[in-house]
């Protein structure tokens, strides 16, 4: 279970709680790098954080919004968060995610970023958001 003190790790990692109930890490230009949300129906709020306990959280990477470095930052954060919360990283199917699994995800993302780069489509740009919506 993830409790309120574990979520302090999100804030310590530079994430901020937005009005929609998600923690977001943003880059220097204000673009979303990745987000963290409650897997249960309840969203995070300032008030609920005081006594929160949830079974799991999800880290989400929005590829058209974030650049190449985003997955590496998510990966590093995920490792620290899982360790600090005494949790485990799992994939969408709740299968434990190994370093090799994370490497495979990074390899799958690389061609997408390369296509965007060659096409002159910067991550987070209006064009990227339209193309991937």
Q: What is the pLDDT of residue 45?
A: 81
The DSSP code sequence of the chain is: -EEHHHHHHHHHTT-EE-TTS-EEEE-TTS-EEEEEEESSSSPP-TTGGGS-EES-EEEE--GGGS-THHHHHHHHHHHHHHHHTT---B-TTS-B--HHHHHHHHHHHHHHHHHHHHTT--TTSHHHHHHT-
Report the alpha-carbon distance of residue 64 to residue 112 in Å, rounded: 9
What's this model's pTM, rounded to 2 decimal places?
0.84
Q: What is the pLDDT of residue 102?
A: 95
Q: What is the pLDDT of residue 68?
A: 84
pLDDT per residue over 22-60, tens digit each?
Answer: 999 998 888 889 999 999 888 888 776 777 778 889 999
User: Nearest CA to 16 among 29, 35, 42, 43?
Assistant: 35
> What is the average pLDDT across 77-97?
91
């Amino acid at each position: 279970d993830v409790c309120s003190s574990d979520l302090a790790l999100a804030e310590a990692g530079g994430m901020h709680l937005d009005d929609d109930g998600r923690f977001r890490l943003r880059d220097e230009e204000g673009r979303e790098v990745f987000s963290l949300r409650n897997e249960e129906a309840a969203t995070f709020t300032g008030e609920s954080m005081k006594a929160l306990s949830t079974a799991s959280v999800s880290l989400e990477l929005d590829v058209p919004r974030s650049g190449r470095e985003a997955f590496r930052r998510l990966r590093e954060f995920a490792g620290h968060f899982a360790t600090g919360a005494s949790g485990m990283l799992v994939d969408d199917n709740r299968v434990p995610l190994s370093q090799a699994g994370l490497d495979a995800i990074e390899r799958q993302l690389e061609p997408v970023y390369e296509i965007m780069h060659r096409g002159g489509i910067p991550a987070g740009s209006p064009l990227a958001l339209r193309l991937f919506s």
